[in-house]
Structure 1
Amino acid sequence: MANPVYGKHFKASTEDEKRGSMFWVLNICMILFLLWAPFQIALFNGLGISFEKPLFWAIMLVCILMILGLIQFNKKVQLNDQRDMVALLIILLPLSYMISMFSAASWHYAVNMVLIQWMYAFIFVIGIYLLRDRVSNKIIQITLMGSAYLIVFFGYISWFGQGYLGGHLVSWFSNGVTNGVYTDAIMQDSNGWRLTSVFQYANTYAAFLMAIMFAGLFNASRLRTWYDQLIHGFMLVPVILALILTLSRGGLVVLPFVLLILLLLLRPAQQILWFINLVIAGIATAVILNPVTAIGLQVIAKYDGAVAAKGWAYLLIASLIAGVLIMLVGRYIAPKLEVGVEGWTARRGASLWIPIGSALLGILMLVLLIATNLRNLLPANIRVRFENINFQQSSVLERFTFYRDAMKLLRDYPLFGAGGGAWGASYEAYQNNPYVSRQAHNFFIQYLVEVGVIGFIIFILFVGFIFYKYIRGYFKTDRAGKESHFIYFIIVVSILMHSLLDFNLSYAYMSILVFLGLGGMASAMDLTPLKRLKAPAGMIRGIYVSLIGLVAIIVAFTSLRFSVASGDVMDAQKASQVASPSYEDIRAPLDKALTIRSTFPEGVVFMGSLLTQVFQQTKDEQYYNEDIALLNKAQEKEPFNKNIVKQLVTAYQLGGKSDVAFDLLVNSIPKYKWDIEWYEGVITQAYALGNQAYEKKDTAAQEKYFNAGLNAYKEVQAGVEYLKTLPTGQLQGRAFAVTPKIALNIGKIQSMQGKTADAASTFKLGLADDLNDQTNREVARYYLAALKKDKQNDQAIYDKLIKIDAKEKEQINTIANMDYSGK
């Protein structure tokens, strides 16, 4: 007899678990993990020590879940159908990251990403076996939706100015709370205040909300009990409103296309029901959009309990009205729809009309909001976002730039990639202009540069196969079979589609949702038997289970050690912040951390700084030699890490190896070619060392240093000119221009070379209004002196300088009377 949940392609006798104590332990642990994860690892962006410790804890917890799962699933691992095959093939994804480690742009981030990928693989395997059971499937779906709705309301707590309440609620188990408030649950950027909830990034929250909105629509239309319809109908308004309050243009642009894909898999009656429910929730949201937006902005600026309560009232009443209406539709209209469109359903192409029409309607609404006065009905902050939706806006142009720059990186690491975290570690060496983005804003491109063409093909084939098998089985099974795992398809499609425009999957929690969703889809694939291997099934199962179990133990142990190392570095940072910190108190935790991870970037830089300070105080060469050895070893593994290079330059300079330090500065320019401070450092050292060489009458050294400084200056000038050619709507990013320090030192070099007119022009580029600043005053002084040599003057600058300090007149004369050597 066919299982009523899975349909004719699933055998009831083998799909349901034997529900012993381990079954319930595993499900309870999954519930707790899925409730804990959003408040811990939704913060993770792939880079930075502050994110590492909770991430390693998450990896350890998933490893424990995997071991519990192996105990429960042991006898179900038969390796006799394609679902078992994909459970085995998932290991190719972390293996591709392991291979990429050997050419990694950052060893530290690459190793972290290997552990992260194993976590995703374990989540997938757990999903593919756990979600075959109808009870587990129901438990996980309820948990996912319940935790999502908690995340939504958590965001509104901050939107209505009650951030301290939100922080108090989660501070006992979340590391995201700072000074009593959950960090950046709402965030302010150039677009105004944006709702982010637990994600700290509005666009990723928008991707999450889009997935939850469609999942809520699905549940409201398929579940038959009145309270299920009421709950999911009720939550549609908060979810849609939150999606708008993220001010995410990408979310609004992607939404119609995701809707089209999802509707294509539904029966016409379901499509109509989705449309009706979406209209109800949309109208309720539109009614409260302006007042809730205004109230939020008001209480964020200055909290008022009465005003906040009014905002909550708007939200809850509108949600309740929408929920009741959606429940009534489900109770009284939905059954009639099933019967009423039965004849229509049989028509060829009937299921295409509503999806295409809905998508076109969504696009039409978007166009109207962008191009007509209809947008004036929206709150000002939201209206501005709609007005700026075009292909010439800064964020679009920047994304295209990221993608082109990522291809430059790929060309250097084509086959196996540059390892996990490659973009964040090395993007400065490949960037077209001085933007600051440690993410490529496209998951697929970022994945491509991390694992190369081979690893990317493996990923696409793996995910594509699951989609193909799921959709193929979906159309062959009955209604109950279609609905049993469709929520996982919704989650995966929504997040992956939005990830074409953003880095959602750099957030570990979002990737967990995707891989759990892929596991759910794979567990519902139609059954295609595998050819039996000659080896006994028990032996094959034993090898597979033992292998996965062993890897889980190794990954868990490694994550534990890495968590300890991260904690030790953070302990050292805390120890250094106390009054009169002790060298031993700071060094002890750093030694522990570097014993575990010898090239831990933050640990290495901190230890290098500590050893440098001790060497300065004691002049003991032992500390200097230890410092140099530590930093050089770390640089080999972290060739793009700017802080390590800076610390190494400082160490060489203090050790009397200024020439080595200078060569390192110059040779590192290509890695940081849009960092104006780096050019400042090179040019400042070029003048200082060149002047020293002149005093020693070392002409060759003088020319070497001066030419290096002038060449760096030419690169700055070329960069400034190039930035003028950027498209009108594209922001250049960080400041990149001739600074007073650069102008001062290049002008001095030109003066020493006898190029007085060039020097005057260069000094003029560095003039600044604030002549109380010492560097600015020195630039003005040398500028006036250079003019005086050429029998010229700038009376306005002269008067301004003399007004600040009358003695400047004498200094200008002294500089002007110097010969071309600068003396």
Structure 2
Amino acid sequence: MSNPVYGKKAAESRNREKLPAALLLLIIGLIAFLVWAPFQAGVFNGLVLEFEQPIYWSVIIGSVLLLIWATAFFKNIKLEDQRDWTALFVLLIPITYIIALISAASQYFASNMVLIQALYAFMFVIGLYLLQNRKANRVMETTLITVAYIIVMFGLFNWLGQGRTVSAIVSWFSGTVVNGQYTQAVWIDANGPRLASVFQYPNTYAAFLMAFFFVAVFGITRSKKWYGQAIHAFMLVPIVLSLLLTLSRGGLVFLPVVFVVLLLFLKPAKQILWILYSVIAGGATLVVAKPVTNLGQQFYLGQINDPAKGWFYVLGASLVLAVLAWLIQQFVAPRLENGTSKWSAKKLANLWLPLVSVVAVGVLAFLFLGTNLKHILPGNIGDRLENLNLQQHSFLERMTFYKDAVKVLKDYPIIGAGGGGWASIFEKYQNNPYTSRQAHSFVMQYLVETGLLGFIVLLAFLFFIFYKYIRGYINAGEQERESYFGYFIIVFSLLMHSLMDFNMSYVYIGMLVFLGLAGMAAAMDNRPVAKLKLKPSTMRGLYSAVMVLASVILIFVSIRYIGASQDVVKAKKLITTSTDFQEIKTPLDKALSKRGGHPDAVLYMSSLLQAGFDQTQDESFYNAELNLLTNALKKEAFDKNMYKQLIKLYQSKGENGKAYAILRDNANRYTYDMDWYEQLIVQSYELGYQALGEQDIAKKDEYFKSGLAAYQHVIQGVEHLKTLPEGQLQGDPFEITQPMVLNAGKMAYMLNDSAKAAEIFKVGIKDDLNDDTNHEIALWYLAALQKNGTTDQALYDRLLQVDPNEKEEIDKISKLNF
């Protein structure tokens, strides 16, 4: 059966047709969106207030574009073939996120993710129909590549110390420029400066660079014009150089994997050209990598550098590569095509070079990892490669995240923990006290958020599109293959890298993937589906109505959320500049009226009401704050900061029993929060001691036993952390503190278990007995020993040197009977 996209007559017909006004408006809007989006703060980590508004604006823009799409393509919506039905299938993805709201760990995070997934679905639907038009496809492909090249150059400007110059250009439409500098365009961590460009995360930038490196190589071999070949070739060195500057080991690991797979789609002549350009680009980059790396490091270490010198290296190598690519395409490529024609005709001819490439990659990996060849790389890049192994902390930590994600899945197996579920509840399931609010794997995070239902839907969607695209690609001609292969490169590259990182948490990356999937679906081997009883016009009307209604709803919801976010931001600024209670409260009231469970609004309002109660002891402040927090926690049941505010509120009124109940009932949600367990142990002792004074022995025992259980949890946690692999970092501190020892030991002693008490107190014995806590621990330890008929004479003598009167106190405590 003929393919509507790949068919020759259809292609010629689309090439002659003029673009209608609505279609032209859709293309212009989508281009503007794709230029604007990457320069916004696009990561969804659930805690940064400043990231909210760009996401909501993206949803509004996507919804408006969908309304324009409905006008431009109304007559084209027939839902008669498989391609059209993918436009219906994609709606199941946001629907699974809507279903996950039922069991969502955070309604706030989950509702945000519903909006984002709806945006992705809209981008797919728009792209599916738009990219079937030959002219529109060419424009959109050019736009994506142009934006990618701008992002690459933007990153290098920042690396070479000219960030303020380029940041000034984008500052008028990007809120990510702060004090004249694009935030975290260059990361600084233990490895030194790392290039992140617009993504604020080097590993995601590496995934992006990997995708567009292959797009650039493809562009060289595809372009018929000399200037097209030169432009793509010119960008190879900046892309490879930027990839090295990210210091992303994942990028360097996945690059050859993706490269080998992509080679399988090419004829031998093209395979040779891809390998040739990759080798030349890699060699040219290595020539300039050290001086350019050093210049960037000097700038970020506060030293004077010379940007012109850096650009001389980059532009010089790029120009050489551009000239070489033109010469190769002009004189070598035609001869390769002719010389390999017999080879290409053989069965499985395209398998040989990929197999050779696997061997070559293995040899290069050995040389760079196992020999002194790594010293040709800049020092920090060589060091990162040298540490690349399965016992390295980054790999071990990722494996821990994945194991912990499986624990979450066991508790939320069918519909998941909702969007942002990992960020909400990872502390409950964590193996050690890390602080990652991302699971560092798109697959694992998706499973956590939508459960098996959502994951199966996504997997089926991806499998169907990949299967149909590859089948169509095999049966298509050379020119038809090249029209949509760029989208396959982008999608495959980004999804492969996302197996071990959170690239899909970036809204812009998600948009790229779904637009790429739309491009693949637009070109897939297409077949009609069984006709339904409903007329095509009825189906078209129903589908269009649903899409229009959904876009209108999302526009209004997003506008409301933007208003709430703006009010919170206003209140946040007023807190630092104003002392007027009502002035600060007014925008918070507005925010909460628009979005009642907004965590930042709740916390700021809670702090404001707390201050009012502390100053006036007016019960109305207390009741208002109590209602605010208890209602918010019904939607945000894992929000630790809200619990802390509630604890503080109870304690400010002397309701320590209620504060203790919060600590006790939620301790299992914060497995490795050392401060939480210290508070719980201290509160258990104080309330138990109070119950003892009131002769309520049952209550005393209840408090003391819960406190000792908390102490035992800490001991077990500390012992477990000793079993972590040698290369794995523990994360945040988690240890037995002196207040834990003192209060747990007292509780054991007052439960008439002096032997257990002595065992606990012994853990806290320190050299400095002038410290009040250390002194008291030693005092009670000696009393517990004396009660058991033993002593520690050396410690006893040291304590009496500090305070001779403690002899009587030891005797007194040892004779106590509870």
Q: Do both proteins adopt the same fold according to a TM-score greater than 0.5, normalized to the shorter chain?
A: yes
1:384 corresponding residue in structure 2: 383
Pairing 1:411–2:405 present: no
**CA distance in structure 2 between the aligned counterparts of 1:294 and 1:655, rounded to whole angstroms:** 59
1:194 aligns with 2:194: yes
411 and 238 in structure 1: CA distance in 2 versus 1, 3 angstrom threshold? same
The answer on whether the counterparts of 1:41 and 1:509 sit within 8 Å (CA) in structure 2 is: no
Rounded to whole Å, the distance in 1 between the matches of 2:391 and 2:541 is: 58
Matched, 1:69 2:69: yes
Secondary structure of the corresponding residue to residue 557 of structure 2: helix
- Structure 2 equivalent of residue 645 of structure 1: 643
Q: State the partner residue of 1:778.
A: 772
Alpha-carbon deviation of 1:72? 1.1
Partner of 2:86: 86
Q: For residue 46 of structure 1, report the CA deviation from its aligned partner.
A: 4.7
Q: Distance in 1 between matches of 2:812 and 2:177?
A: 60
The Cα of 1:179 is off from its aligned counterpart by: 2.4
2:587 is matched with which residue? 589
Q: How much has 1:184 moved relative to structure 2?
A: 1.1
CA distance in 2, matches of 1:422, 1:480: 45
Deviation, 1:537, is: 2.1
Contact 1:127–1:520 (8 Å) recurs in 2: yes
Q: Work out the CA distance in 2 between the residues paired with 1:627 and 1:794.
A: 53
Matched, 1:370 2:369: yes
- 1:805: which partner in 2? none
User: SS state of the match for residue 339, structure 1?
Assistant: helix
Change in CA separation of 1:601 and 1:759 when aligned onto 2, cut-off 3 Å: same
Question: In the TM superposition, what whole-angstrom CA distance separates every residue of 1:418-460 from its partner, at most 9, and x where no partner exists?
Answer: 1101111011111111111111111011111211111111111
Distance 2:538 2:159 in 1: 57
Shift of 1:284: 0.4
Stretch of structure 1 that moved more, 187-196 or 749-758: 749-758
Aligned partner of residue 346 in structure 2, secondary structure: coil
Equivalent position SS for 2:194:
strand
Change (3 A) 1:205 1:769: farther
Question: Shift in Å at residue 534 of structure 1?
Answer: 3.5
| 1:164 Cα deviation from its structure 2 partner | 2.3
Paired residues of 2:5 and 2:522 also in contact (CA < 8 A): no
Change (3 A) 1:40 1:793: farther
Change (3 A) 1:410 1:3: closer
Question: 2:743 corresponds to which residue?
Answer: 745
1:168 counterpart residue number: 168
User: Aligned letter for 2:326?
Assistant: M
Quote the residue 1:599 is aligned against.
Answer: 597
Structure 2 SS opposite 1:485: helix
Give the aligned partner of residue 402 of structure 1: 401
Seen in structure 2, the aligned counterparts of structure 1 residues 614 and 229 have a Cα distance that, compared at 3 Å, is same
CA gap of 1:707–1:140, structure 2 versus 1, over 3 A, is same
Deviating more after overlay: 788-797 vs 493-502 = 788-797
* Corresponding residue number in structure 2 for 1:426: 425
Corresponding residue for residue 664 of structure 1 = 662
Distance 1:259 1:233 in 2: 17
- Maintained 8 Å contact 2:14/2:133: no
The DSSP-based 3-state class of the residue aligned with 1:198 is: helix
Summarize the alignment of residues 492-531 of structure 1 with structure 2, pairs less than 5 Å apart.
Answer: 492-531=491-530
Deviations 1:201-245 (A, max 9, x none): 111111000001000000011101111111110100010111111
SS of structure 2 residue aligned to 1:187: strand
Kept in 1: contact 2:701–2:751 (CA 8 A): no
In structure 2, the CA distance between the partners of 1:68 and 1:721, relative to structure 1 (3 Å rule), is same
- Contact 2:762 2:781 (C-alpha < 8 Å) held by counterparts: no
Residue 390 of structure 1: how far off its partner (Å): 1.1
Conserved? CA contact 1:784–1:798, under 8 Å: no
Range 489-498 or range 365-374, more displaced: 365-374
Matched with 2:119 is 119
Q: Distance in 1 between matches of 2:796 and 2:491?
A: 65
Query: Any residues of structure 2 matched to 1:694-773 within 5 Å, and which?
Result: 694-750=692-748, 752-753=750-751, 762-763=760-761, 765-766=763-764
Cα pair distance change 1:797/1:423, threshold 3 Å: farther
Which region of structure 1 is more displaced relative to structure 2, 151-160 or 502-511? Answer: 151-160
- Tell me how far apart the structure 2 counterparts of residues 459 and 518 of structure 1 sit (CA, whole Å): 12
Determine if contact 1:183/1:200 at 8 Å carries over to the other structure. yes
1:242 is aligned to: 242
Counterpart code for 1:48: V
Determine if contact 2:752/2:817 at 8 Å carries over to the other structure.
Answer: no
**Cα shift readout 1:592-614 (whole Å, capped 9, x = no counterpart):** 11112212222222222222222
Displacement of 1:285 in angstroms is: 0.5
**Where does residue 622 of structure 1 map in the other structure?**
620
| CA drift at 1:623 | 2.2
Q: Secondary structure at the match of 2:193?
A: strand
Classify 1:635/1:44 alpha carbon distance in 2 versus 1 (closer, same or farther; 3 Å).
closer
Q: CA deviation at 1:358?
A: 1.8
The match for 2:159 is: 159
How far does residue 189 in structure 1 lie from its aligned partner after superposition? 2.0
Higher alpha-carbon deviation: 323-332 or 98-107: 323-332
Q: What is the match of residue 293 of structure 1?
A: 293
- Cα distance, 1:810 vs structure 2: 6.8
Stretch of structure 1 that moved more, 174-183 or 256-265? 174-183
Q: Does 2:439 correspond to 1:447?
A: no
Counterpart for residue 314 of structure 2: 315
Taking the TM superposition and a 5 Å limit, the aligned residue runs for 1:16-415 are 18-305=18-305, 307-415=306-414
Residue 552 of structure 1: how far off its partner (Å): 0.5
Distance 2:807 2:32 in 1: 76
Structure 1 unmatched ranges of 5 or more: 803-807
Q: Is the 8 A contact 1:784 1:793 kept in 2?
A: no
- Tell me, yes or no, if the aligned pair for 2:761 and 2:781 is still in contact at 8 Å: no
User: Which amino acid is the alignment partner of residue 278 of structure 1?
Assistant: S
Deviations 1:167-225 (A, max 9, x none): 32222211212222111111122222211111111111110000010000000111011
Q: Which moved more, 1:214-223 or 1:739-748?
A: 739-748
**Structure 1 pair 750–40 and aligned structure 2 pair: CA distance change class (3 A):** same
Alpha-carbon separation, structure 2, partners of 1:37 and 1:16: 32
Q: Distance in 1 between matches of 2:806 and 2:490?
A: 70
The alpha-carbon distance between structure 1 residues 417 and 722, as it changes in their structure 2 partners (threshold 3 A), is same
Q: Does the 8 A contact of 2:188 with 2:194 survive in 1?
A: yes
Q: Does the aligned pair in 2 maintain the 1:214–1:490 contact within 8 Å?
A: yes
On the 8 A contact 1:60/1:559 being kept in 2, the answer is yes
**Compared CA separation, residues 758 and 540, structure 1 to 2 (3 A):** closer
SS at match of 1:500: helix
CA RMSD of aligned residues (A): 2.5
Alpha-carbon displacement from aligned partner over 1:354-390 (angstroms, at most 9, x marks no partner)? 1222233123212321122222222221111111111
Q: Could you tell me how far 1:795 is from its partner in structure 2? A: 6.8
The aligned runs of 1:791-802 (5 Å cut-off) are 792=792
| Compared CA separation, residues 723 and 15, structure 1 to 2 (3 A) | farther
Contact residue 219 and residue 232 of structure 2 kept, 8 A: yes
How many Å separate the matches in 1 of 2:120 and 2:363? 38
Shift of 1:267: 1.2
Alpha-carbon distance between aligned partners in 2 of 1:132 and 1:68, rounded to the nearest angstrom: 17
Question: Larger deviation: 52-61 or 392-401?
Answer: 392-401
Retained in 1: the 8 A contact 2:127–2:519? yes
Instruction: Answer yes or no: is the 8 Å Cα contact 2:764–2:777 preserved in 1.
Output: no
Contact 1:687 1:706 in 2 (8 A): yes
The answer for the alignment partner of 1:565 in structure 2 is 564
Instruction: State TM-score, norm by structure 1.
Output: 0.94
* Cα distance change, pair 87–537 in 1 and its aligned pair in 2 (3 A): same
Which AA in structure 1 matches 2:284? A
Q: Match of 1:143, SS?
A: helix
Structure 2 segments unaligned to the other structure (5+ residues): none
Per the alignment, in what secondary structure is the counterpart of residue 531 of structure 2? coil
TM-score w.r.t. the length of structure 2 is 0.95
User: 2:3–2:526: 8 Å Cα contact kept in structure 1?
Assistant: no
Aligned residue type for 1:783: I
Tell me, yes or no, if the aligned pair for 2:439 and 2:501 is still in contact at 8 Å: yes
Which secondary structure does the structure 2 equivalent of 1:193 belong to? strand
Q: Distance in 2 between matches of 1:797 and 1:384?
A: 53
- Greater Cα shift, 143-152 or 609-618: 609-618
Name 2:476's counterpart in structure 1. 477
